Structure 1
Amino acid sequence: MQLVRFYLTQTRRHHGVLLYEWLLKQAHAQGASGATAFHALAGFGRHGWHEATFFELAGDVPVAVEVIASSDVIARLLATITAEQLSLPYLQVPVELHVTGEPGQSDQ
């Protein structure tokens, strides 16, 4: 399993859809095990410092989209992003996915 984390801003769009939503839909369509978009409180990167304050306009706030999937699914997702000519910084690392509790135990 692999984890890939994309970094973008909250209001960035692709084909009229918020980019984080587009990424989540693409990950789902490619067969990812799971994906989540995280809204960041603060951060800095290649485009400077960003912080979510009361007076800040939406759009400069960083968002991270994490996808957990097999290497094949991640490769297809990255190929789709490349074909769409999107430029996104990302982190990719191998992960082990586990669930606590007894096998077959429900959340009741």
Structure 2
Amino acid sequence: MKGTSLKFYMHENRNHQHTLVYEWLLEQAKKMGIHGGSAFKAIASFGRHGIFHEEHFFELAGDLPVVVEFIVNDDEADRLLEMVRSSGLTMFYVRLPAEYGVINGEKSMSPRGENS
């Protein structure tokens, strides 16, 4: 299938409506009927201001970016972007064309990934 890879970038400690932004974004997408999304934490990064961020063993969480990614159809991507715009959040995003599907999707899988 053809669709969109939509990624949103934020700092892991950023809040919106008393909730971490990445959790808020995933919850809003779920309420919209989006079939899935994932949040990924970086181990090192720098952004537009050139400040380098890196996780160290003794540091508290908070300064590294989290990427929330959705693989959706184009209409769902438009709806997600509009939802973020209307929330008032300022957020960097990337929207790319994607081809997606399920390999061997007709077989049922056990929770451990074994064919049944």
TM (norm. structure 1) is: 0.90
Higher gyration radius (CA): 2
For 2:25 and 2:88, how far apart are their aligned partners in 1? 13
2:95 pairs with one of 87, 92, 97? 92
Give the aligned partner of residue 76 of structure 1: 79
- Structure 2 counterpart of 1:14, one-letter code: H
Deviation at 1:56, TM superposition (A): 2.7
What CA RMSD, in Å, does the superposition of the two structures yield over aligned residues?
Answer: 1.3
Q: Give SS of 1:7's match.
A: strand
Deviation at 1:34, TM superposition (A): 1.6
Count of residue correspondences: 107
**2:25 is the alignment partner of 1:27:** no
Moved more, 14-23 or 42-51: 42-51
Q: Deviations over 1:39-75 (max 9, x none)?
A: 1111111242111112333210111000111111111
TM (norm. structure 2) is: 0.84
Structure 2: gaps (5+ residues): 110-115
Give the aligned partner of residue 5 of structure 1: 7
2:43 pairs with one of 38, 41, 44? 41
For 1:46 and 1:73, how far apart are their aligned partners in 2? 28
Structure 1: gaps (5+ residues): none
Moved more, 91-100 or 49-58: 49-58
Equivalent pair of 1:5/1:67 in contact (CA under 8 Å): yes
